[in-house]
Every structure is written in C-alpha cells, then in structure tokens.
Amino acid sequence: FHTVRLILGDQLNAQHSWYKQADPKVLYLIAELHQENTYVTHHVQKICAFFGAMAQFASELGDAGHKVRYLTLDETQDFADLNALLQHYVAETGAIKFEYQRPDEYRLLAQLSQLKLANAVVNCVDTEHFLLPFDEIDREFPQGQHRLMEHFYRRMRKRFNILMTDGKPVGGQWNFDASNRQKLKSQDIKSLPTPLMFGHNVQDILARLQRHGINTMGKADTRLLWPINRAQSLELLQYFCEYCLPAFGRFQDAMTQQHPSQWSLYHSRLSFSLNAKLISPLEVINAVIEHYHANPFIEIAQVEGFVRQILGWREYVRGIYWANIPNYANINALEATRKLPDYFWHGKTRMNCLHHALSQSLDYAYAHHIQRLMVIGNFCLLTEIAPDEVDKWYLGVYVDAIEWVEMPNTRGMALFADGGIVGTKPYAASGSYINKMSDYCGSCHYKIKERSGALACPLNSLYWRFMDKHRAQFTHNPRIAMLYRTWDKTDEATRQAILATAEQHLAQLERL
C-alpha cells in the first residue's frame, strides 16, 4: 500500500471526499482500541453502538471497493496505545503516507500530533462534517470570553440561508421559545410517539468486552436499540419528521413518568448518528425543512426550535470547546468539590425526578436535554459536585457523549464551572421548575411546596443556599437581582430554617 488512512470511531462519514474513488493503493484502518474504552467508564450500549457502527462502516466501505482492515479488541490488545498500533501497521504495509481526519477531541488530536513514523509522512485533513469551518472558530469564539449563542445562531442562519426569506427570518421572528416549551397534559401524553428502535445483535461485542475485562455502566441488551449505519440513521430522521417534528418545540422541555415506553417524547435521538457522523448536520436540517414545506400543518415554531439545536447549539458548543480547551477541562469557578452519590450508578433515590432521569439514562444511555440540564445537571450544580466527577459520568453514560459536545454542556451550561463563558448566569432552579415542566412531584417522597424540614423537596432549600452562598458573584446580574429582593423580604427565621435544611440534605447526600 502507498497510503494508510485512519478512521476513528466518530468519523463514519461515508460522504467524505476520501471515498469518492476506490484506490487499491490506499488502506483504510478502523480499530477497536483499549485506550478509547478505558479513559472513562462508558455505558455498555455506547460501546456497542460505536463498535457496531464501526464494523458496519468497514463492511460498507469494502462493498464499495475500498481496501479496509478492521481490527477488533482481540487484535489491538498487545499495543500500548493508538500510536504504537499505527507505527506497527503503517510499517507493515510499507506505506509512505499516513493520513487521518482531525479528531474532534483534544485528547486524540494531541496524541496524533505526537505520532512519529519512520518511513511515512503524516497528513491531517478535515472531517467535512461541521458547518462552521474549523479555522474560523478562533474568530467567532475568542478564548475565555462569553459569546451569546443567539447572535452566533442568527449569523449561521444568514450565512447558510436557512429559514430565511428576503434576508428576514421565516415567520418574522428568530426565536419562538415563548410559544414553545409547554407541559404535557394528559391528552398529550396519550398521543406520544413510541421511539423507533433497531435491533442489531451485539452478542459478539458484549462477549468481547467481557473477554477483555472492559468495565462498563448501565443496562446491557443483546439487541441494540441505536442506529448503527447510515440507512438506519436516515430512517430515524424520517421517523422524527413524521411523528415528532409536529410537536417538537412545544414539548421540548416537558418530562413525564407516565407511559415510560415513550421515553424519548418528541426528541429525535439523532445525536449518536450525528456525532458518529453517519449523517451530517446540514442534511438533517434540510430534511426537516423539506418536510415542513411539504406539510403546511407543521408550525414554524416547531421547526425553528429544532434547527436552532443543530445549527445553533451544536455548532456553538464545538466552537466553545476548541477555543478554550485544554484549560477548559480544569476550570472550576464555583470551587465545587463533592463526590457523585452512588445512585448515579443505580438510580435508586427518593427524589422522583432524579430517579427517573438517572434510571432512564442507565437503561437507554439517553436522556433528553432538560433531564440532563435541569434535573441531573441542576442537582449537581446545587450540591456542588466536582466538575471532574460530573464530566466523567456524563462522558460515560450517554450514547452521544464525546468530549467536544459533552464538556461545554456539562462544565459550562449545567455547572457554571467556566465562570460564564457559555451562560451569563447559572441554570439553577428550585423544585418549582421541575413541578412546572413534569408530573414527577405528585408521587415524590418529598413535598414540593415545602422549603424546610426533612420532607421538604431538597432542591428548594439547596437552591436558596446556592443563591445565598454566591450572592457576591451574582447580585449584580440584572437577571438575578429580583430574586435576591425576594430572599431579603423573607423573614430571618424562615431563611435560617431553609439554609439549615439544605445543610442537612448535603450532609446525607447518599441517602436522599
């Protein structure tokens, strides 16, 4: 072979220019690596999804006439790490050129930049996946500075001419949040769509993980529900357009414990397919807009709400990550130091909201945005769990978790550990937010209306403790000032009872 090209597990982009022509002198290398399965403890379904998708990708490339070498854990176990493996295989093929696509994780980019090959030149190319070119990130996202997602998103809408007419946003507004984000009522719950699940047999992968002693978390299933190839990803996209898009924005933030088999509500569950690059952000956006044009009953608010997630948030967090990494991985602006309680690994807590969000994450390797942000994330924020602990858990548990997208969401959006690079204020909330958006509180062990005492909803007192503790930092923020006025109007005895309750909850975090 003249050239060896590495394909990482999240670089399964069949539309990449590499594959335009099959060249018998080019060998593609796809490898299951020990290092990738042990840098954190991953959910077992996450590993199965990546290994399953990598193997399918290898076999599809082979069918298209490319030369491919797929290495399982059995074949890579003797190599210390990725670079050792590459040195061996590039030398074995006699190739004079080695190419890789720029990794989306700093960890891998740093590792591959250290690669030294005796007889081959090394070349790095773009993944051809994201909308914002990599070399524009520094200009869009100055290091250490806050950038408002909304402004970035509007620039992206204009630049790519998405949902625009005559230079103006379709529907006359950029943002339809005010008409979205409703709670599910009982008649809505009856018509929730059932998630489309696939059934790829992963028995071999599970056996391999066991054979190699790979530690995992979460519930294993021999039939994997996640899409593992492009055809299944496109089927899931079509399913989303037909059954979920018409109500996506409206119930984007809602949560329910009724009908647990409809666990993903109106969400697309496309994040794994997108992050593994089985499908591209632009084709998802275009499919959704095409479906909207063909179905006039679908409101712009639903469509804009979805496009904002992909064109706005997804591209934005990638920019924040690359502008601020590696320092971003160490910042802890609120100096949070607690350990994650054990129930993050089994879901058994009397806090009903947390119990549902954790159990669902462990059962399916999935939770939707508000479960991640306002239930689990808010709990970690208010109880001051160390960002490293939180990062490790999120990076492990979700099928779509890759550091570039996980870290700004966790450290930035959920924990405010970046001191305000992602958000201008923390997404801290008391139990009343969860009560407003879900039906969890009615059957909870704790009382949602109470702020002090052993049975009071822990989030109520923890919220006020958090705001009180960080008053000096947040008091000048106009979006929070009102809140401090409310706190100051509360009588001293009540305030002390609330703060004492919060300390009691913190002292017995493992038993909540």
Candidate residues 274, 317, 441, 480; the one interacting with ligand SF4 per rule CB under 6 A: 441
Residue 444 binding: pick among ligand SF4, ligand FAD, none (C-beta 5-8 Å cut-off by kind): ligand SF4
Determine what percent of the chain falls in helix, strand and coil, rounding each to the nearest 5: 55, 10, 40
176 binds ligand FAD (CB under 6 A): no
> Tokens 């979805």 correspond to what residue?
306
- Name the segment binding ligand SF4 (CB under 6 A); options: 22-30, 105-113, 208-216, 456-464: 456-464
Query: Least distance (Å) from ligand FAD to the CB of residue 312?
Result: 8
Residue 233 binding: pick among ligand FAD, ligand SF4, none (C-beta 5-8 Å cut-off by kind): none
386 binds ligand FAD (CB under 6 A): no
The CA dihedral of 12, 18, 19, 25, to the nearest 10 degrees, is -120
Residue 414 binding: pick among ligand FAD, ligand SF4, none (C-beta 5-8 Å cut-off by kind): ligand FAD
Choice between 205 and 512, CB closer to ligand SF4? 512
Q: What is the distance between the terminal CA atoms of the chain, rounded to a whole angstrom?
A: 60
Instruction: Tell which positions 420-439 bind ligand SF4, by CB under 6 A.
Output: 431, 434-435
Choice between 310 and 351, CB closer to ligand FAD? 310
373 binds ligand FAD (CB under 6 A): yes
Whether the CB-CB separation of 295 and 240 falls below 8 Å is answered with no
462 binds ligand SF4 (CB under 6 A): no
495 binds ligand FAD (CB under 6 A): no
Candidate residues 73, 184, 317, 353; the one interacting with ligand FAD per rule CB under 6 A: 317
3-class secondary structure, 21: coil
Query: Least distance (Å) from ligand SF4 to the CB of residue 453?
Result: 13
Write the burial class of residue 369 (CB in 10 Å: 0-12 exposed, 13-18 middle, 19+ buried). middle
397 binds ligand SF4 (CB under 6 A): no
- Extract long-range pairs of 485-494: CB within 8 Å, 24+ residues apart: 494/451, 494/452
Query: Residues 272-301: x/- map of binding to ligand FAD (CB under 6 A)?
Result: --xx--------------------------
Q: Which residues of 52-73 are buried (b: 16+ CB within 10 A; e: fewer)?
A: bbbbbbbebbeeeebbbbbbbb
Candidate residues 18, 89, 446, 466; the one interacting with ligand SF4 per rule CB under 6 A: 446
Question: What number of residues does the chain have?
Answer: 512
Residue 282, sorted as left (phi over 0), alpha (psi -120 to 50) or beta, turns out to be alpha
Q: Kindly provide the residue ranges of all beta strands, DSSP E only, lying in 219-281, ordered along the sequence.
A: 223-224
Choice between 349 and 410, CB closer to ligand FAD? 410
How far is 5 from 20, CA to CA, in rounded Å? 14
Query: Residue 313 corresponds to which amino acid?
Result: W
Query: Least distance (Å) from ligand SF4 to the CB of residue 447?
Result: 7
Candidate residues 58, 457, 462, 467; the one interacting with ligand SF4 per rule CB under 6 A: 457
79 contacts: CB under 8 Å, gap ≥ 6: 85, 88
3-class secondary structure, 311: helix
DSSP string, 384-416: TB-HHHHHHHHHHH-TT--HHHHHIIIIIIIT-
Residue 398 binding: pick among ligand FAD, ligand SF4, none (C-beta 5-8 Å cut-off by kind): ligand FAD
Binding region for ligand FAD (CB under 6 A): 267-271, 274-275, 309-310, 313-314, 317, 368-369, 372-373, 377, 394, 398, 400-401, 405-406, 409-410, 413-414
